[in-house]
Amino acid sequence: MNYNSLLKSYNLKVTQPRIKILQLIDQRGHIAIDDIYNEISQIYEKLSLATVYKNILTMRNIGLIIEIPIVGKKPKYELTKNSHLHFICKECGAIEDKEIIDNLKDIFKTIALKDQFIISSLQNNIYGVCLKCQ
Amino acid sequence: MNYNSLLKSYNLKVTQPRIKILQLIDQRGHIAIDDIYNEISQIYEKLSLATVYKNILTMRNIGLIIEIPIVGKKPKYELTKNSHLHFICKECGAIEDKEIIDNLKDIFKTIALKDQFIISSLQNNIYGVCLKCQ
DNA sequence: GTCCATGCAAACGATTTGCATGCGT
DNA sequence: ACGCATGCAAATCGTTTGCATGGAC
């Protein structure tokens, strides 16, 4: 993925912190703010935690990334992509993406229609224990 | 609902703060910690915010209540009941419960089975705009 | 050269902790 | 009477803010 042009397409200036943040979120799939800071700091020492926070906020507001709130833990972030569901392991915290069946979306739409509720986004998290941690 | 015996059934001592916290969560359906503290304080002035935090934590750990993390906002709490989905209004923050179709659970179970992922709980939040706020 | 992004440190808000006292059992 | 629950204040943690400097365009 070309993070450079991704940033430009959202009218954001291309800076080192931004490229590295995007790259890391993309590589990891799902990552918390602390981990972004810690990992990038190793190769780019002058990075400030405040910069990570500011950029995460900016990217979230414009829809470049999505926040995944997690019960009892700090939120993680992922690049915006088609709706999907998350398997969240209570043990190791790992998150795995699963495709969402069209069927599923239709079920939600039908319920929403009855209530005249206008859906803007879905958040389907399934908590449990992953294979590794069993 | 008899909060008194509900507490006893979870081996918790019956105290004024606990009864009032449970009652309020039950009445409101979904409520944030601040609001619990503010509302109860009006009729029970000596309540401490720390007590609310401690009890919410205790009740969450033993499964009496459930935490609903919400994107960009403080989490809300509800009494534990059968799995259901939440319509969360981005405007007013209101949460509405919707029955979850058995069908839906089966879909998740099927996906989980393939991955050998052991499901412990579902979190289905649908964000959007409720009828009132349109 | 202009304006926005960064880095730092201070400020802030939410949550947790320690400890003496009170209350449920 | 014992032990857990409470209330208070201090401590801690996560996040935001203000401001001077640097870098992207």
Strand D proximal to A14 Cβ, under 7 A: yes
pLDDT of residue B104: 85
pLDDT of residue B1: 85
DSSP state of B32: E
pLDDT of residue B72: 87
> Which residue is nearest nucleotide C6, judged by alpha carbon to C1' distance?
A51
- Does residue A1 carry a pLDDT above 90? no
Query: Which residues from 99-118 of B have any strand C atom under 7 Å from their CB?
Result: none
Per-residue pLDDT reduced to its tens digit, B49-71 = 999 999 999 999 999 999 999 99
- Does residue B42 carry a pLDDT above 90? yes
Collect all residues of chain A within an 8 Å Cβ-Cβ radius of residue B60: 72
Strand C proximal to A94 Cβ, under 7 A: no
pLDDT of residue B37: 98
Q: Which nucleotide is nearest to B74 (CA to C1')?
A: C14
Q: Do the beta carbons of residue A36 and residue A18 sit within 8 Å?
A: no
Q: Do the beta carbons of residue B54 and residue A52 sit within 8 Å?
A: no
Collect all residues of chain B within an 8 Å Cβ-Cβ radius of residue A126: 108, 112, 117, 119, 121-123
Name the average pLDDT for chain A.
95
- Does residue A104 carry a pLDDT above 90? no
Strand D positions closer than 7 A to protein CB? 4-10, 14-18, 23-25
Separation between the CA of B51 and the C1’ of D6 (whole angstroms) = 7
Question: Is A121 in contact with B104 (Cβ distance < 8 A)?
Answer: no
Q: What is d(CA A3, CA A1) in angstroms, rounded to the nearest whole number?
A: 6
Confidence at B103, pLDDT banded by 50, 70, 90: confident
* pTM (2 d.p.): 0.94
> How many percent of chain A have pLDDT more than 90?
89
- Does residue B83 carry a pLDDT above 90? no
- Does residue A127 carry a pLDDT above 90? yes
Name the average pLDDT for chain B.
95
Residues A55-66, mean pLDDT to the nearest whole number? 97
Give how far A71 is from chain B: nearest CA, Å.
6
Task: Write the secondary structure of B46-95 as one string of H (helix), E (strand) and C (coil).
Answer: CCCHHHHHHHHHHHHHCCCEEEECCCCCCCEEEECCCCEEEEEECCCCCE
Question: Is B117 in contact with A108 (Cβ distance < 8 A)?
Answer: no
Side chain identity at A2, as an amino acid letter?
A: N
Q: Do the beta carbons of residue A90 and residue B86 sit within 8 Å?
A: no
- Which of A76, A77, A124 has the most B C-beta neighbours within 10 Å, making it the best mutation to test the interface with B? A124
What domains can you pick out in chain B, each with its CATH number? 3-79 (1.10.10.10), 84-128 (3.30.1490.190)
- Does residue A66 carry a pLDDT above 90? yes
Confidence at B100, pLDDT banded by 50, 70, 90: confident
pLDDT of residue A61: 96
Q: What is d(CA A68, CA B112) in angstroms, rounded to the nearest whole number?
A: 20
- Does residue A20 carry a pLDDT above 90? yes
- Does residue B132 carry a pLDDT above 90? yes
- Does residue A121 carry a pLDDT above 90? yes
